[in-house]
Amino acid sequence: MTVKQLAATDIFLFLSASFNRNKMNGKLRLLTGALIMFGMIGFSACKNKEESSKTGWSYNDPEWGGFEKSKYVEQEAGPGLVLIEGGTFVMGATNQDVVFDHHNQPRRVTVASFYMDETEVSNLDYREYLYWTKRVFGDVYPEYLEAALPDTLVWRGELAYNEPYVQNYFRHPAYADYPVVGINWLQANEYARWRSDRVNERLLVDGDYLSLDLEQKGDGHFTSQSYLLGQYDGIVPEKGGMQNIDPNGESETRNVRFEDGIMQPDYRLPTEAEWEYAALALVGTQPNKDEERYTERRVYPWSGKGVRSMEGKTQGDMLANFKRGRGDNMGLAGNLNDNAEITAPVKSYPPNDFGLYNMGGNVSEWVLDVYRPLTFDDMEDFNPFRGNVFQTMDLDEEGMPQRDSLGRVKYRQYTQEEIGDRENYKKSDVVDYLDGDEISGISYDEESSLITNTTRVIKGGSWNDRAYWLSPGTRRYMEQEQASSTIGFRCAMIRVGSPMGK
């Protein structure tokens, strides 16, 4: 016990004994009572100071070395995200396989809790990204800005007059809240990476750990990784910064660490399993919270077997934006069935039971996975995913992380020597694991196939698809460098800690 703790204890015991002898007048009793209470509070505070349950050493105390335990214990949802509580479900076809692809056979898997965008990324969202990119890289690296631009020519058709969409869809404010299209898989990932950095930069500015710096240019801009590695100094407010309680620290403040719980994990594309699980939203089919069962296996992201609402005042309304039949993209004038000839605003139609909009219809969406026609024997049953390429930071001769021309930390694949005799994986690039590599025993000729290691999965139906494709179990694919007027995307983020949140 410290000297302060002994002093507080002695005062408390002495005054308690004096008070019990009833030898003091009223004023003295009041004073003594206050001192007793002060002593109890002081003693309690000392006694309740958090300590390691394994060593007894105090947390967050420079007198005990300054090891810090964060006060943040639960993850906060990032901007635009909805918590998707994980669980088990039957992934795969819920309708007849009318195209006979046999690539979505039903199988039971578990998906961990994660966050997902409430809506598809809109034209306005993507224009914000391009504005920032032009401001920071336009003068020093214009090629990066050019690579980020959507392909507006995806609207062209050889036997259709769609030039007005080429000119207006992405730029005109009337389409600001419509989903961005003409974005390939690589561009969608770059957007997610940029969004991660901007969200974390805002969190640090709001917490007074950094000052907003609008003069950032080129490789000197803020990235989450460069900041955490101490390669971005930025402008620290005069009275800001994180208090440094390391007794050997060189200054009174320090950079925020990821362990502080202030910064968010990365935004990214959802996996195919995550996207399908979130789209089905089977939480809405459970009879009550006390029963671990579903009452139906949904065909669409909503209950029922049809594409029209069965609820009260909305009865008969379309629940998604899709093509009802050949030549019928929106119905009759005066009674438009889905009120959209092409795409619709990202918050059109009722959300599903997770609160997600347009998980069926409007635009199909990119997911992380590399496409393969096999779906039963070639996946794990927990967080299934194909597309892993395991990487580590690329260090220079002095052991410092290297950065690319954009100022971002460079990564490389693990070498076979670094992997060694691990049991959980044998090589760094496992995209074609059990589907064509030398140990799989499965014949797979990439050169004579439309399916390659850069072919990515597309989920969900679009404004130009029939109702069949609105079923979350359906799947298609496209090369990651291609784009379409029917494909957009939304972002996801891991849920760290407890699966249910606070």
Bridge-based pairing state of the strands 253-254 and 492-494: unpaired
Q: How is residue 424 written in tokens?
A: 């959980």
Scored b (16 or more CB within 10 A) or e, 420-440 reads eeeeeeeebebbbbbbbbeee
Residue extents of the structural domains in the chain: 3-48, 389-429
pLDDT at 45: 43
Place of tokens 């007794």: 247
3-state secondary structure 55-68: CCCECCCHHHCCCC
Consecutive 10-residue runs of the chain (502 residues): their mean pLDDT?
A: 44 44 48 49 53 94 92 87 95 73 82 97 98 95 96 96 96 98 98 97 95 92 94 85 89 91 96 97 81 81 83 77 87 83 95 96 96 74 94 91 90 94 92 65 51 94 93 94 98 93 67
pLDDT at 342: 95
φ/ψ of residue 137, rounded to 5: -115, -10
pLDDT at 152: 97
pLDDT in tens, 160-177: 999 999 999 999 999 999
Phi/psi-derived region of residue 247, left when phi > 0, alpha when psi is between -120 and 50, beta in every other case:
alpha
pLDDT at 376: 56
3-state secondary structure 322-333: CCCECCECCEEC
Q: Are 322 and 463 in contact (CB under 8 A)?
A: yes
Q: How is residue 455 written in tokens?
A: 């072919």
Phi/psi-derived region of residue 185, left when phi > 0, alpha when psi is between -120 and 50, beta in every other case:
alpha
Model pTM score: 0.86
